[in-house]
Amino acid sequence: MPVVCRVNGAAFGAGLAILAAADISVATSDAVFGLPEVRLGLVAGPAAVACLGRIGQTAALDVLLTGRRFGAHDAERMHLLSEVVARDDLDANVERCIADLLLGDADALAATRRLVRQLSGPTLAERVRTLRAAGGSGADAELTSTK
C-alpha cells in the first residue's frame, strides 16, 4: 500500500529519511527540514540512502555536506514533498489524498509503486547494501577524515 507522510513541524535526520521513503508527502508551509549529522561529526548514512534517490546527487550533497536547515518550499523543489499547504489545511489535504488512494485497486496500486520504483533507479535495499559495503552500519557512522 502507498505510504503517505504528514509533516507538521520539523523533520531532521531519521525523520527526513522517513519522509524521503514515503510515496506521497504533505507538509505545512512552516515545516523545517535538515540533515545536521555532519555538524555533529556523524555521517547521515541511512538518511543519505533514503534521500539520494528522491532528491538527486546535487541536492543531496548540498544538504548532507552543509547540514543546513531548509524550508518546505525548498523541500518541495527537491522533490521531497508532493504538496505544501497552510497549517489549517494540512489534515484536510492529507485526508483528501488518502481518499483518492482508497479509490484505487490494491493490486494496481502495488504494481504501480513497484513499476515507478524499478524505473527510478536502484532500490532502497540496493542503496542500503551499498552503504554497508562502504562501511556504514545502517546507523549513523562516525566521520573519518582522509587528510
pLDDT digit string (tens) for 26-78? 999 999 999 999 999 998 888 888 888 889 889 999 999 999 999 999 999 99
> Is the Cα torsion angle 54, 57, 59, 62 positive or negative in sign?
positive
Which residue did the predictor score with more confidence, 142 or 75?
Answer: 75
Q: Is the pTM of this model over 0.85?
A: no
- 46-56 b/e (C-beta count within 10 Å ≥ 16 → b): bbbbbbbbbbe
pLDDT digit string (tens) for 86-132? 999 999 999 999 999 999 999 999 999 989 888 877 666 777 787 78
CB-based contact 46:16 (threshold 8 Å): no
